Amino acid sequence: MTETATAPPRVAPGAGRPGAIAAFSAVYTGQIARARVARGPLLFVASLQSLGILLLLRGVVHNDPVRTTSAIVAGSTVLVVAFVALNLLAQRFGALKASRALDYYGALPVTAAPVVLGTAASYATFTIPGAVLTCVVGIAMYGLSFAHVWLVVPVVVAAGVALSGLGAAMGLLAPRSELATVLGQLAMTAVLFLGVIPPAHLPAAARAAREVVPSMTAVDALAAGLRGSPTWWSVGWRLGVSVLWGIVGLVVAARAFRRACAR
Amino acid sequence: MSDAGGVSAAVLDVRGVVKTYRGAATPANDGIDLQVHAGEVFGLLGPNGAGKSTLVRQLAGLTRPDAGRIMLFGHDLAADARAAASFVAYLAQDEPALDELPVGLAVETTARLRGLPRGEARSATATLLDELDLGAVAARPVGRLSGGQRRLACVAAALAADRPVLLLDEPTTGLDPVARRSVWSAIDRRRAERGTTVVLVTHNVIEAETVLDRVAILDRGRVIACDTPGRLKARVSDDVRLDLVWRRTPPMHDPTVAALAPSARMDGLRWSVRLDAASARESLGRLMSGSTLDALDDFTLATSTLEDVYLALGGRDDDLERG
Protein backbone atom coordinates (compact mmCIF):
# COMPACT_ATOMS: atom_id res chain seq x y z
CA MET A 1 0.00 0.00 0.00
CA THR A 2 1.42 3.33 -0.96
CA GLU A 3 0.36 6.68 0.40
CA THR A 4 -1.35 8.49 -2.41
CA ALA A 5 -1.85 12.14 -3.20
CA THR A 6 -5.23 11.46 -4.85
CA ALA A 7 -7.70 14.13 -3.78
CA PRO A 8 -10.37 12.71 -1.51
CA PRO A 9 -13.80 12.47 -3.10
CA ARG A 10 -16.08 15.15 -1.73
CA VAL A 11 -19.36 13.54 -0.87
CA ALA A 12 -22.23 15.72 0.22
CA PRO A 13 -23.57 15.00 3.70
CA GLY A 14 -27.31 14.82 4.15
CA ALA A 15 -27.99 11.36 2.77
CA GLY A 16 -28.84 9.12 5.68
CA ARG A 17 -29.96 11.98 7.88
CA PRO A 18 -33.45 11.64 9.36
CA GLY A 19 -35.86 14.57 9.50
CA ALA A 20 -36.70 16.05 12.90
CA ILE A 21 -40.07 14.26 13.11
CA ALA A 22 -38.59 10.89 12.11
CA ALA A 23 -35.81 11.34 14.68
CA PHE A 24 -38.31 12.35 17.38
CA SER A 25 -40.46 9.33 16.55
CA ALA A 26 -37.48 6.93 16.68
CA VAL A 27 -36.26 8.30 20.02
CA TYR A 28 -39.79 8.37 21.46
CA THR A 29 -40.52 4.76 20.44
CA GLY A 30 -37.21 3.53 21.82
CA GLN A 31 -37.59 5.41 25.09
CA ILE A 32 -41.17 4.20 25.58
CA ALA A 33 -39.92 0.60 25.30
CA ARG A 34 -37.05 1.38 27.63
CA ALA A 35 -39.26 3.09 30.20
CA ARG A 36 -41.68 0.16 30.08
CA VAL A 37 -38.84 -2.12 31.13
CA ALA A 38 -37.17 0.08 33.69
CA ARG A 39 -39.50 2.70 35.09
CA GLY A 40 -42.74 0.94 35.98
CA PRO A 41 -42.08 0.77 39.73
CA LEU A 42 -40.94 4.41 39.88
CA LEU A 43 -44.05 5.60 38.08
CA PHE A 44 -46.13 3.63 40.57
CA VAL A 45 -44.30 5.42 43.38
CA ALA A 46 -44.96 8.78 41.67
CA SER A 47 -48.71 8.12 41.67
CA LEU A 48 -48.69 6.74 45.19
CA GLN A 49 -46.92 9.86 46.46
CA SER A 50 -49.64 12.12 45.05
CA LEU A 51 -52.44 9.90 46.31
CA GLY A 52 -50.80 9.93 49.74
CA ILE A 53 -50.69 13.73 49.77
CA LEU A 54 -54.37 13.90 48.79
CA LEU A 55 -55.23 11.59 51.67
CA LEU A 56 -53.01 13.44 54.13
CA LEU A 57 -54.49 16.85 53.31
CA ARG A 58 -58.02 15.42 53.44
CA GLY A 59 -57.36 14.85 57.11
CA VAL A 60 -56.29 18.49 57.58
CA VAL A 61 -58.76 20.33 55.36
CA HIS A 62 -62.33 20.52 56.69
CA ASN A 63 -65.15 22.54 55.16
CA ASP A 64 -62.66 24.59 53.15
CA PRO A 65 -63.82 26.58 50.13
CA VAL A 66 -63.73 24.88 46.75
CA ARG A 67 -60.88 27.21 45.76
CA THR A 68 -58.65 25.48 48.31
CA THR A 69 -59.68 21.90 47.58
CA SER A 70 -59.45 22.33 43.78
CA ALA A 71 -55.94 23.72 44.22
CA ILE A 72 -54.95 20.70 46.32
CA VAL A 73 -56.27 18.21 43.76
CA ALA A 74 -54.77 20.07 40.78
CA GLY A 75 -51.42 20.46 42.57
CA SER A 76 -51.30 16.76 43.48
CA THR A 77 -52.16 15.78 39.90
CA VAL A 78 -49.38 17.90 38.42
CA LEU A 79 -47.01 16.55 41.07
CA VAL A 80 -47.13 13.16 39.30
CA VAL A 81 -45.79 14.90 36.19
CA ALA A 82 -43.22 16.82 38.22
CA PHE A 83 -41.86 13.67 39.83
CA VAL A 84 -41.19 12.13 36.43
CA ALA A 85 -40.29 15.22 34.41
CA LEU A 86 -37.99 16.79 36.99
CA ASN A 87 -36.74 14.02 39.20
CA LEU A 88 -36.44 11.09 36.80
CA LEU A 89 -35.52 13.07 33.71
CA ALA A 90 -32.78 15.05 35.50
CA GLN A 91 -31.43 11.74 36.81
CA ARG A 92 -31.64 10.14 33.37
CA PHE A 93 -29.81 12.91 31.53
CA GLY A 94 -27.29 13.26 34.37
CA ALA A 95 -26.55 9.54 34.12
CA LEU A 96 -26.36 9.64 30.29
CA LYS A 97 -23.87 12.46 30.49
CA ALA A 98 -21.77 10.85 33.23
CA SER A 99 -21.55 7.47 31.49
CA ARG A 100 -20.64 9.04 28.13
CA ALA A 101 -23.84 7.56 26.70
CA LEU A 102 -24.45 10.85 24.89
CA ASP A 103 -21.69 9.78 22.49
CA TYR A 104 -24.20 7.37 20.99
CA TYR A 105 -26.41 10.28 19.94
CA GLY A 106 -23.44 12.55 19.23
CA ALA A 107 -22.20 10.16 16.56
CA LEU A 108 -25.61 9.98 14.87
CA PRO A 109 -26.86 12.51 12.30
CA VAL A 110 -29.58 13.90 14.56
CA THR A 111 -29.94 17.29 16.18
CA ALA A 112 -30.30 17.70 19.93
CA ALA A 113 -33.92 18.92 19.94
CA PRO A 114 -35.66 15.70 18.77
CA VAL A 115 -33.52 13.59 21.12
CA VAL A 116 -34.35 15.74 24.15
CA LEU A 117 -38.00 16.13 23.12
CA GLY A 118 -38.42 12.41 22.31
CA THR A 119 -36.96 11.35 25.65
CA ALA A 120 -38.96 13.96 27.57
CA ALA A 121 -42.19 13.07 25.75
CA SER A 122 -41.77 9.37 26.50
CA TYR A 123 -41.37 10.10 30.20
CA ALA A 124 -44.36 12.45 30.15
CA THR A 125 -46.50 9.79 28.42
CA PHE A 126 -46.04 7.45 31.34
CA THR A 127 -47.41 10.04 33.73
CA ILE A 128 -50.86 10.17 32.12
CA PRO A 129 -52.40 7.11 33.89
CA GLY A 130 -51.06 8.19 37.31
CA ALA A 131 -52.17 11.80 36.83
CA VAL A 132 -55.66 10.78 35.67
CA LEU A 133 -55.99 8.40 38.62
CA THR A 134 -54.86 11.08 41.09
CA CYS A 135 -57.26 13.62 39.61
CA VAL A 136 -60.26 11.27 39.64
CA VAL A 137 -59.56 10.09 43.19
CA GLY A 138 -59.06 13.71 44.30
CA ILE A 139 -62.32 14.88 42.73
CA ALA A 140 -64.22 12.07 44.46
CA MET A 141 -62.44 12.57 47.79
CA TYR A 142 -63.00 16.35 47.92
CA GLY A 143 -66.45 16.38 46.24
CA LEU A 144 -65.39 18.47 43.23
CA SER A 145 -66.98 18.63 39.78
CA PHE A 146 -66.32 15.84 37.28
CA ALA A 147 -67.72 18.03 34.46
CA HIS A 148 -64.34 19.07 33.06
CA VAL A 149 -62.20 16.17 34.21
CA TRP A 150 -60.94 15.76 30.63
CA LEU A 151 -58.90 18.92 31.23
CA VAL A 152 -56.41 16.70 33.06
CA VAL A 153 -55.05 15.45 29.71
CA PRO A 154 -54.09 18.84 28.19
CA VAL A 155 -52.87 19.93 31.62
CA VAL A 156 -50.57 16.90 31.90
CA VAL A 157 -49.26 17.58 28.39
CA ALA A 158 -48.68 21.28 29.11
CA ALA A 159 -47.08 20.60 32.51
CA GLY A 160 -45.05 17.79 30.97
CA VAL A 161 -43.70 20.12 28.31
CA ALA A 162 -43.12 22.87 30.89
CA LEU A 163 -41.19 20.71 33.34
CA SER A 164 -39.41 18.14 31.20
CA GLY A 165 -37.28 20.74 29.42
CA LEU A 166 -36.27 22.03 32.83
CA GLY A 167 -35.55 18.50 34.12
CA ALA A 168 -33.48 17.63 31.07
CA ALA A 169 -31.56 20.91 31.30
CA MET A 170 -30.76 20.30 34.98
CA GLY A 171 -29.47 16.82 34.21
CA LEU A 172 -27.33 18.03 31.34
CA LEU A 173 -25.97 21.18 32.97
CA ALA A 174 -25.10 19.65 36.35
CA PRO A 175 -21.37 18.97 36.50
CA ARG A 176 -21.92 15.62 38.23
CA SER A 177 -24.73 13.08 38.04
CA GLU A 178 -25.24 13.16 41.83
CA LEU A 179 -25.79 16.89 41.61
CA ALA A 180 -28.31 16.36 38.79
CA THR A 181 -30.27 14.03 41.07
CA VAL A 182 -30.22 16.55 43.92
CA LEU A 183 -31.32 19.39 41.62
CA GLY A 184 -34.18 17.31 40.24
CA GLN A 185 -35.27 16.39 43.75
CA LEU A 186 -35.15 20.01 44.96
CA ALA A 187 -37.12 21.24 41.95
CA MET A 188 -39.75 18.57 42.51
CA THR A 189 -40.01 19.55 46.17
CA ALA A 190 -40.57 23.17 45.12
CA VAL A 191 -43.34 22.09 42.74
CA LEU A 192 -44.84 19.98 45.52
CA PHE A 193 -45.06 22.79 48.07
CA LEU A 194 -45.91 25.63 45.70
CA GLY A 195 -48.37 23.51 43.74
CA VAL A 196 -50.21 21.59 46.44
CA ILE A 197 -50.57 24.38 49.00
CA PRO A 198 -53.27 26.78 47.77
CA PRO A 199 -51.75 30.17 46.79
CA ALA A 200 -53.87 32.04 49.34
CA HIS A 201 -52.22 30.05 52.14
CA LEU A 202 -48.66 30.81 50.98
CA PRO A 203 -46.50 33.64 52.37
CA ALA A 204 -45.88 36.56 50.00
CA ALA A 205 -42.34 35.45 49.04
CA ALA A 206 -43.54 31.95 48.18
CA ARG A 207 -46.42 33.39 46.16
CA ALA A 208 -43.91 35.39 44.14
CA ALA A 209 -41.75 32.29 43.66
CA ARG A 210 -44.83 30.37 42.52
CA GLU A 211 -45.22 32.77 39.59
CA VAL A 212 -41.96 31.61 38.04
CA VAL A 213 -42.47 27.86 38.42
CA PRO A 214 -43.29 26.74 34.87
CA SER A 215 -46.04 24.26 35.76
CA MET A 216 -48.06 26.54 38.05
CA THR A 217 -50.20 28.02 35.30
CA ALA A 218 -51.16 24.44 34.35
CA VAL A 219 -52.07 23.77 38.00
CA ASP A 220 -54.25 26.90 38.02
CA ALA A 221 -55.92 25.89 34.74
CA LEU A 222 -56.85 22.46 36.13
CA ALA A 223 -58.00 23.94 39.43
CA ALA A 224 -60.32 26.30 37.54
CA GLY A 225 -61.76 23.32 35.62
CA LEU A 226 -62.33 21.36 38.81
CA ARG A 227 -64.34 24.22 40.28
CA GLY A 228 -66.91 23.56 37.56
CA SER A 229 -67.21 26.85 35.67
CA PRO A 230 -63.86 27.80 34.16
CA THR A 231 -63.25 30.85 32.02
CA TRP A 232 -62.03 29.13 28.88
CA TRP A 233 -59.86 31.91 27.51
CA SER A 234 -58.09 32.01 30.87
CA VAL A 235 -57.58 28.21 30.86
CA GLY A 236 -56.20 28.42 27.30
CA TRP A 237 -53.91 31.29 28.23
CA ARG A 238 -52.55 29.47 31.28
CA LEU A 239 -51.86 26.30 29.35
CA GLY A 240 -50.22 28.39 26.63
CA VAL A 241 -47.92 30.01 29.20
CA SER A 242 -46.91 26.55 30.45
CA VAL A 243 -46.08 25.45 26.93
CA LEU A 244 -44.06 28.64 26.38
CA TRP A 245 -42.08 27.90 29.54
CA GLY A 246 -41.56 24.44 28.16
CA ILE A 247 -40.22 25.71 24.87
CA VAL A 248 -37.71 27.87 26.73
CA GLY A 249 -36.69 24.86 28.86
CA LEU A 250 -36.34 22.61 25.82
CA VAL A 251 -34.22 25.17 23.97
CA VAL A 252 -31.92 25.42 27.01
CA ALA A 253 -31.85 21.59 27.29
CA ALA A 254 -31.06 21.17 23.58
CA ARG A 255 -28.17 23.64 23.87
CA ALA A 256 -26.91 21.84 26.98
CA PHE A 257 -27.19 18.53 25.12
CA ARG A 258 -25.10 19.85 22.22
CA ARG A 259 -22.51 21.16 24.66
CA ALA A 260 -22.40 17.89 26.57
CA CYS A 261 -21.99 15.94 23.30
CA ALA A 262 -19.12 18.13 22.16
CA ARG A 263 -16.87 17.61 25.17
CA MET B 1 -8.87 -9.94 4.47
CA SER B 2 -7.81 -9.17 0.96
CA ASP B 3 -4.83 -7.12 -0.01
CA ALA B 4 -5.75 -3.48 -0.20
CA GLY B 5 -3.01 -2.64 -2.61
CA GLY B 6 -5.50 -1.75 -5.32
CA VAL B 7 -7.38 0.94 -3.44
CA SER B 8 -6.35 4.52 -3.87
CA ALA B 9 -8.58 7.45 -2.87
CA ALA B 10 -8.18 8.62 0.72
CA VAL B 11 -11.48 8.55 2.56
CA LEU B 12 -9.83 9.91 5.69
CA ASP B 13 -6.85 12.21 5.65
CA VAL B 14 -5.46 13.11 9.08
CA ARG B 15 -2.69 15.74 9.31
CA GLY B 16 -0.90 17.00 12.41
CA VAL B 17 -3.74 16.25 14.81
CA VAL B 18 -3.07 17.33 18.38
CA LYS B 19 -5.50 16.85 21.24
CA THR B 20 -4.87 17.54 24.91
CA TYR B 21 -7.65 16.96 27.43
CA ARG B 22 -8.31 19.69 29.96
CA GLY B 23 -6.11 19.18 33.02
CA ALA B 24 -3.89 16.55 31.33
CA ALA B 25 -0.14 17.07 31.48
CA THR B 26 0.57 15.39 28.15
CA PRO B 27 -1.36 15.37 24.88
CA ALA B 28 -3.51 12.31 24.08
CA ASN B 29 -2.70 12.84 20.39
CA ASP B 30 0.56 14.57 19.60
CA GLY B 31 0.80 15.29 15.86
CA ILE B 32 -0.97 12.34 14.21
CA ASP B 33 -0.60 11.94 10.43
CA LEU B 34 -2.31 9.14 8.52
CA GLN B 35 -4.47 8.35 5.53
CA VAL B 36 -7.16 5.70 5.25
CA HIS B 37 -8.19 4.58 1.78
CA ALA B 38 -11.54 3.49 0.39
CA GLY B 39 -12.35 -0.14 1.13
CA GLU B 40 -9.45 -0.58 3.52
CA VAL B 41 -9.49 -2.28 6.92
CA PHE B 42 -7.16 0.03 8.79
CA GLY B 43 -6.02 -0.67 12.32
CA LEU B 44 -4.90 1.49 15.19
CA LEU B 45 -2.74 -0.65 17.44
CA GLY B 46 -1.16 0.39 20.68
CA PRO B 47 -1.27 -0.09 24.43
CA ASN B 48 -3.85 1.53 26.70
CA GLY B 49 -3.36 5.26 26.80
CA ALA B 50 -1.64 5.41 23.41
CA GLY B 51 -4.33 7.78 22.09
CA LYS B 52 -6.25 5.36 19.85
CA SER B 53 -9.72 6.02 21.25
CA THR B 54 -9.12 9.78 21.33
CA LEU B 55 -8.22 9.69 17.65
CA VAL B 56 -11.28 7.62 16.77
CA ARG B 57 -13.55 9.97 18.73
CA GLN B 58 -12.20 12.81 16.62
CA LEU B 59 -12.77 10.83 13.43
CA ALA B 60 -16.38 10.30 14.60
CA GLY B 61 -16.80 14.05 15.14
CA LEU B 62 -17.28 13.66 18.90
CA THR B 63 -14.20 15.65 19.85
CA ARG B 64 -12.49 18.45 17.98
CA PRO B 65 -8.72 18.46 17.60
CA ASP B 66 -6.80 21.34 19.21
CA ALA B 67 -4.68 21.57 16.07
CA GLY B 68 -4.41 19.81 12.74
CA ARG B 69 -6.88 18.73 10.10
CA ILE B 70 -9.14 15.73 9.61
CA MET B 71 -10.65 15.43 6.13
CA LEU B 72 -13.46 12.89 5.71
CA PHE B 73 -14.79 12.58 2.17
CA GLY B 74 -13.48 16.09 1.60
CA HIS B 75 -15.09 17.61 4.71
CA ASP B 76 -12.88 19.19 7.35
CA LEU B 77 -14.05 17.74 10.66
CA ALA B 78 -12.00 20.26 12.62
CA ALA B 79 -14.28 22.95 11.19
CA ASP B 80 -17.53 20.96 11.02
CA ALA B 81 -17.45 17.92 13.28
CA ARG B 82 -21.14 17.17 12.65
CA ALA B 83 -20.40 16.23 9.03
CA ALA B 84 -18.93 12.94 10.27
CA ALA B 85 -22.31 11.63 11.45
CA SER B 86 -23.59 11.40 7.87
CA PHE B 87 -20.82 9.02 6.80
CA VAL B 88 -19.63 7.22 9.86
CA ALA B 89 -20.94 4.50 12.16
CA TYR B 90 -19.10 4.61 15.47
CA LEU B 91 -18.91 1.76 17.94
CA ALA B 92 -17.58 2.94 21.30
CA GLN B 93 -15.91 0.62 23.81
CA ASP B 94 -19.18 0.67 25.70
CA GLU B 95 -22.69 1.76 24.64
CA PRO B 96 -24.64 2.51 27.85
CA ALA B 97 -27.32 4.39 25.86
CA LEU B 98 -28.56 1.06 24.48
CA ASP B 99 -28.50 -0.88 27.76
CA GLU B 100 -32.19 -0.80 28.57
CA LEU B 101 -33.47 -1.23 25.01
CA PRO B 102 -34.42 -4.65 23.65
CA VAL B 103 -31.76 -5.78 21.16
CA GLY B 104 -34.06 -5.58 18.12
CA LEU B 105 -35.27 -2.11 19.03
CA ALA B 106 -31.73 -0.89 19.74
CA VAL B 107 -30.68 -1.84 16.21
CA GLU B 108 -33.90 -0.55 14.64
CA THR B 109 -33.73 2.78 16.51
CA THR B 110 -30.12 3.25 15.43
CA ALA B 111 -31.06 2.49 11.81
CA ARG B 112 -33.92 5.01 11.95
CA LEU B 113 -31.67 7.64 13.50
CA ARG B 114 -29.32 7.07 10.57
CA GLY B 115 -32.15 7.97 8.24
CA LEU B 116 -33.82 4.68 7.28
CA PRO B 117 -37.63 4.82 7.14
CA ARG B 118 -39.34 2.68 9.77
CA GLY B 119 -40.24 -0.26 7.48
CA GLU B 120 -36.75 -0.46 5.97
CA ALA B 121 -35.18 -0.16 9.41
CA ARG B 122 -37.30 -3.06 10.64
CA SER B 123 -36.36 -5.39 7.76
CA ALA B 124 -32.68 -4.34 7.92
CA THR B 125 -32.74 -5.16 11.64
CA ALA B 126 -34.16 -8.64 11.02
CA THR B 127 -31.42 -9.32 8.45
CA LEU B 128 -28.68 -8.06 10.78
CA LEU B 129 -29.88 -10.07 13.77
CA ASP B 130 -29.91 -13.17 11.55
CA GLU B 131 -26.44 -12.40 10.23
CA LEU B 132 -24.98 -12.08 13.73
CA ASP B 133 -27.10 -14.87 15.18
CA LEU B 134 -28.87 -12.58 17.63
CA GLY B 135 -32.43 -13.56 16.69
CA ALA B 136 -32.97 -15.55 19.88
CA VAL B 137 -32.25 -12.54 22.10
CA ALA B 138 -33.99 -9.88 19.96
CA ALA B 139 -36.56 -9.10 22.65
CA ARG B 140 -34.15 -9.03 25.59
CA PRO B 141 -32.71 -5.74 26.89
CA VAL B 142 -29.09 -5.27 25.79
CA GLY B 143 -27.91 -4.68 29.36
CA ARG B 144 -29.23 -8.05 30.53
CA LEU B 145 -27.23 -10.10 28.04
CA SER B 146 -23.89 -11.77 28.72
CA GLY B 147 -20.83 -9.63 28.01
CA GLY B 148 -20.18 -11.23 24.61
CA GLN B 149 -23.78 -11.07 23.39
CA ARG B 150 -24.02 -7.51 24.62
CA ARG B 151 -20.96 -6.55 22.57
CA LEU B 152 -22.40 -8.37 19.57
CA ALA B 153 -25.67 -6.42 19.91
CA CYS B 154 -23.68 -3.17 19.92
CA VAL B 155 -21.79 -4.31 16.80
CA ALA B 156 -25.18 -4.98 15.16
CA ALA B 157 -26.27 -1.42 16.01
CA ALA B 158 -23.02 -0.08 14.52
CA LEU B 159 -23.61 -2.02 11.29
CA ALA B 160 -27.20 -0.75 10.97
CA ALA B 161 -28.00 1.38 7.91
CA ASP B 162 -24.73 0.59 6.11
CA ARG B 163 -22.50 3.59 6.64
CA PRO B 164 -19.57 3.94 4.19
CA VAL B 165 -17.09 4.21 7.09
CA LEU B 166 -17.11 2.04 10.22
CA LEU B 167 -15.14 3.25 13.25
CA LEU B 168 -14.96 0.33 15.62
CA ASP B 169 -13.30 0.68 19.00
CA GLU B 170 -12.31 -2.84 20.06
CA PRO B 171 -15.37 -4.49 18.46
CA THR B 172 -14.48 -8.06 19.36
CA THR B 173 -13.58 -7.59 23.03
CA GLY B 174 -15.28 -10.29 25.07
CA LEU B 175 -16.51 -12.26 22.05
CA ASP B 176 -16.05 -16.01 21.78
CA PRO B 177 -14.24 -17.28 18.65
CA VAL B 178 -17.48 -18.10 16.81
CA ALA B 179 -18.97 -14.64 17.40
CA ARG B 180 -15.62 -13.07 16.54
CA ARG B 181 -15.61 -14.86 13.19
CA SER B 182 -19.19 -13.83 12.43
CA VAL B 183 -18.31 -10.17 13.14
CA TRP B 184 -15.34 -10.33 10.77
CA SER B 185 -17.44 -12.08 8.11
CA ALA B 186 -20.12 -9.39 8.38
CA ILE B 187 -17.51 -6.63 8.05
CA ASP B 188 -15.75 -8.36 5.15
CA ARG B 189 -19.08 -8.84 3.36
CA ARG B 190 -19.79 -5.11 3.58
CA ARG B 191 -16.36 -4.31 2.27
CA ALA B 192 -16.69 -6.70 -0.66
CA GLU B 193 -20.24 -5.67 -1.57
CA ARG B 194 -20.21 -1.95 -0.80
CA GLY B 195 -16.58 -0.94 -0.48
CA THR B 196 -17.05 -0.09 3.20
CA THR B 197 -13.97 1.40 4.86
CA VAL B 198 -13.14 0.19 8.36
CA VAL B 199 -11.01 1.86 11.01
CA LEU B 200 -10.46 -0.54 13.85
CA VAL B 201 -8.97 0.08 17.27
CA THR B 202 -7.33 -2.92 18.83
CA HIS B 203 -4.64 -3.83 21.27
CA ASN B 204 -4.75 -7.45 20.21
CA VAL B 205 -1.72 -8.17 18.01
CA ILE B 206 -3.03 -11.47 16.66
CA GLU B 207 -6.26 -9.82 15.50
CA ALA B 208 -4.23 -6.99 13.99
CA GLU B 209 -2.09 -9.39 11.99
CA THR B 210 -4.98 -11.42 10.65
CA VAL B 211 -7.64 -8.89 9.70
CA LEU B 212 -5.93 -5.60 8.91
CA ASP B 213 -4.80 -4.33 5.51
CA ARG B 214 -2.69 -1.65 7.13
CA VAL B 215 -1.95 -0.72 10.69
CA ALA B 216 -0.74 2.41 12.44
CA ILE B 217 1.12 1.66 15.65
CA LEU B 218 0.54 4.35 18.25
CA ASP B 219 2.62 5.08 21.31
CA ARG B 220 2.04 8.01 23.67
CA GLY B 221 -0.07 9.91 21.19
CA ARG B 222 2.18 9.48 18.16
CA VAL B 223 2.18 7.17 15.13
CA ILE B 224 5.49 5.33 15.40
CA ALA B 225 4.91 3.15 12.31
CA CYS B 226 2.26 2.74 9.62
CA ASP B 227 2.29 0.03 6.97
CA THR B 228 0.91 -3.42 6.16
CA PRO B 229 1.42 -5.94 8.99
CA GLY B 230 3.69 -7.97 6.69
CA ARG B 231 5.99 -5.06 5.87
CA LEU B 232 6.13 -3.95 9.47
CA LYS B 233 7.16 -7.41 10.59
CA ALA B 234 9.74 -7.53 7.79
CA ARG B 235 11.49 -4.64 9.53
CA VAL B 236 12.42 -6.98 12.37
CA SER B 237 12.19 -10.27 10.48
CA ASP B 238 15.72 -11.44 11.30
CA ASP B 239 14.80 -11.46 14.94
CA VAL B 240 12.89 -14.04 16.90
CA ARG B 241 11.50 -13.83 20.38
CA LEU B 242 12.75 -16.19 23.06
CA ASP B 243 10.39 -16.39 26.03
CA LEU B 244 11.71 -18.02 29.18
CA VAL B 245 9.78 -18.87 32.34
CA TRP B 246 11.96 -19.58 35.38
CA ARG B 247 11.06 -21.85 38.29
CA ARG B 248 13.07 -19.68 40.69
CA THR B 249 15.46 -16.75 40.58
CA PRO B 250 17.45 -17.12 37.34
CA PRO B 251 21.06 -18.29 37.88
CA MET B 252 22.90 -15.10 36.99
CA HIS B 253 26.28 -16.78 37.44
CA ASP B 254 25.60 -18.72 34.23
CA PRO B 255 27.27 -16.89 31.33
CA THR B 256 24.32 -17.47 28.93
CA VAL B 257 21.78 -16.17 31.44
CA ALA B 258 24.04 -13.22 32.25
CA ALA B 259 24.36 -12.44 28.53
CA LEU B 260 20.60 -12.53 27.95
CA ALA B 261 19.68 -10.51 31.06
CA PRO B 262 20.55 -6.97 29.83
CA SER B 263 18.27 -7.20 26.78
CA ALA B 264 15.45 -9.19 28.45
CA ARG B 265 12.07 -7.68 29.19
CA MET B 266 11.35 -9.08 32.65
CA ASP B 267 7.98 -9.65 34.24
CA GLY B 268 8.69 -11.49 37.49
CA LEU B 269 10.07 -14.87 36.51
CA ARG B 270 9.09 -14.37 32.85
CA TRP B 271 11.75 -13.15 30.48
CA SER B 272 11.25 -12.14 26.88
CA VAL B 273 14.33 -11.57 24.73
CA ARG B 274 14.45 -10.48 21.10
CA LEU B 275 17.54 -11.61 19.20
CA ASP B 276 18.56 -12.98 15.83
CA ALA B 277 17.57 -16.55 15.03
CA ALA B 278 21.09 -18.02 15.19
CA SER B 279 21.87 -16.47 18.57
CA ALA B 280 18.49 -17.60 19.89
CA ARG B 281 19.14 -21.21 18.83
CA GLU B 282 22.59 -21.14 20.32
CA SER B 283 21.44 -19.61 23.61
CA LEU B 284 18.58 -22.06 23.93
CA GLY B 285 20.92 -24.99 23.24
CA ARG B 286 23.25 -23.85 26.00
CA LEU B 287 20.38 -23.31 28.45
CA MET B 288 19.01 -26.79 27.71
CA SER B 289 22.29 -28.56 28.19
CA GLY B 290 23.77 -26.73 31.16
CA SER B 291 22.96 -26.61 34.85
CA THR B 292 20.40 -23.86 34.19
CA LEU B 293 17.90 -26.43 32.90
CA ASP B 294 16.79 -27.16 36.48
CA ALA B 295 15.85 -23.52 36.98
CA LEU B 296 13.97 -23.29 33.65
CA ASP B 297 10.26 -24.10 33.80
CA ASP B 298 9.21 -23.41 30.20
CA PHE B 299 10.36 -21.68 27.03
CA THR B 300 9.01 -20.67 23.60
CA LEU B 301 10.73 -19.50 20.47
CA ALA B 302 8.51 -17.43 18.17
CA THR B 303 8.88 -15.38 15.01
CA SER B 304 8.26 -11.63 15.19
CA THR B 305 4.81 -10.25 15.86
CA LEU B 306 3.52 -6.71 15.66
CA GLU B 307 4.28 -6.49 19.37
CA ASP B 308 7.97 -7.01 18.52
CA VAL B 309 7.68 -4.31 15.89
CA TYR B 310 6.17 -2.03 18.50
CA LEU B 311 8.98 -2.74 20.94
CA ALA B 312 11.69 -2.54 18.28
CA LEU B 313 10.41 0.91 17.30
CA GLY B 314 10.73 2.14 20.85
CA GLY B 315 7.26 1.37 22.24
CA ARG B 316 7.48 1.69 25.98
CA ASP B 317 4.37 0.14 27.41
CA ASP B 318 3.70 -3.51 27.83
CA ASP B 319 -0.01 -4.26 27.72
CA LEU B 320 -0.60 -5.39 24.16
CA GLU B 321 -2.72 -8.53 24.03
CA ARG B 322 -1.40 -11.63 22.32
CA GLY B 323 -4.60 -13.72 22.57
| Per-residue pLDDT tens digits for B45-98 | 888 888 999 999 999 999 989 999 999 998 999 888 888 999 999 999 888 899
| Per-residue pLDDT tens digits for A50-94 | 999 999 988 887 777 888 899 999 999 999 999 888 888 899 899
Confidence of residue A8 (pLDDT cuts 50, 70, 90): very low
DSSP-assigned letter for residue B204: B
Confidence of residue A260 (pLDDT cuts 50, 70, 90): confident
Dihedral sign from CA coordinates of B58, B61, B67, B70: positive
Contact residues on chain A for B214, CB-CB shorter than 8 A: 1
Say yes or no to pLDDT of A1 above 70: no
- Percent over 70 (pLDDT), chain B: 94
The C-alpha atoms of residue B162 and residue A36 are separated, in whole angstroms, by 29
Q: Give the minimum alpha-carbon distance from A35 to chain B in angstroms, rounded to a whole number.
A: 8
**Which is nearest to A99 in space by CA: B154, B146, B104, B93?**
B93
Which residues, 6+ apart, have CB-to-CB distance to B303 below 8 Å? B233, B237, B240, B241
Q: Give the minimum alpha-carbon distance from B36 to chain A in angstroms, rounded to a whole number.
A: 9
State how beta strands B222-227 and B214-219 pair.
antiparallel
Q: Kindly report the average pLDDT of chain A as a whole number.
A: 85
Contact (Cβ atoms closer than 8 angstroms) between residue B217 and residue B223: yes
Hey, is the C-beta of B88 within 8 angstroms of any chain A C-beta? yes
Say yes or no to pLDDT of B29 above 60: yes
The C-alpha atoms of residue B279 and residue A59 are separated, in whole angstroms, by 94
The C-alpha atoms of residue B86 and residue B96 are separated, in whole angstroms, by 22
Hey, is the C-beta of B161 within 8 angstroms of any chain A C-beta? yes
Q: Which residue of A has its CA nearest to B116?
A: A16
**pTM for the predicted model, two decimal places:** 0.81
Q: A interface mutation test: which of B14, B113, B145 has the most A CBs within 10 A?
A: B113
Of A18, A38, A99, the CB nearest to B113: A18
Neighbours of B23 (CB within 10 A): 5
ipTM confidence score: 0.81
Q: Give the minimum alpha-carbon distance from A258 to chain B in angstroms, rounded to a whole number.
A: 11
Phi (first) and psi of residue B179, to 5 degrees: -65, -40
| Per-residue pLDDT tens digits for A82-125 | 988 888 889 989 998 898 889 999 999 998 889 988 988 888 88
Q: Give the minimum alpha-carbon distance from B300 to chain A in angstroms, rounded to a whole number.
A: 33
Hey, is the C-beta of B100 within 8 angstroms of any chain A C-beta? yes
* Consecutive H or E run containing B101: none
Of A38, A101, A108, the CB nearest to B113: A108
Which residues, 6+ apart, have CB-to-CB distance to A138 below 8 Å? A54, A72, A73, A76, A77, A144
Cβ-Cβ contacts under 8 Å between A and B: the total is 143
